[in-house]
Amino acid sequence: MTAHEARPIGPDTLEELRTTDDAGRPCVPYKATEGGDPLRCCLRGTESGELIALVSYAPLRRWAAETWARPGAYDEQGPVFIHAERCEGPAGDRTGYPFSRAGALRTVRRYDAEGAIIGGRLLEIPAEEEKGFDAAFAEAFADPDVALVHVRAVEYGCFHFEVRRGGAGVPLA
């Protein structure tokens, strides 16, 4: 069992993104031709033939609206894959952290309560993947000013998932 809760994009936000994304563009569903693209709605890879969409998502902006933070210039948006139709979210029996494979590079970016970046680190996911993430999150949350952490892919910079202080298992806003 992971020490911290990886949070998917919440159902209400997904419904909005399936109409208009955070860049103001309409959602354009298509069938996945290959598997493996990271779905942020259910925190697993796509399967060939699934109806998915690539949408622009602003995770910090969504969090700020919920918490009254003011991230200013740190508010950014980027591409994420989601199911184009309602899904059940992460499987209840899912283990480990999503989109984790030994050797992959991730950025573990830290934000304060106002939404400003206050640090981060590069994580090369070790063979013991869960322990590597647990250590990175423990290090981040050892700083009392860290309110949340975003995990992003180094190759594309895209958002993978969020971990909040306290680890509440509710989906992202």
Amino acid code (one letter) for 105: L
Burial code (b: 16+ CB inside 10 Å, e: under 16) for 124-148 equals ebeeebbebbeebbebbbeeeebbb
Q: Which runs of E-coded beta strand occur in 112-167?
A: 117-124, 148-153, 159-164
- The answer on pLDDT for 169 being more than 80 is no
Global confidence as pTM: 0.90
**Which tokens is 5 given?**
């809760």
Q: What is the pLDDT of residues 53-111, one digit of tens each?
A: 999 999 999 999 999 999 999 999 999 999 999 999 998 888 899 999 999 999 999 99
User: From CA 69, how far away is CA 81, in angstroms rounded?
Assistant: 26
Q: What is the pLDDT of residues 101-156, one digit of tens each?
A: 999 999 999 999 999 999 999 999 999 999 999 999 999 999 999 999 999 999 88
Local structure of 121: helix, strand or coil: strand
Long-range contacts of range 119-125, CB-CB < 8 Å, 24 or more positions apart?
Answer: 119/143, 119/146, 122/154, 125/100, 125/101
**Which tokens is 22 given?**
């955070």
User: From CA 15, how far away is CA 17, in angstroms rounded?
Assistant: 6
- Alpha-carbon 165 to chain mean position: 15
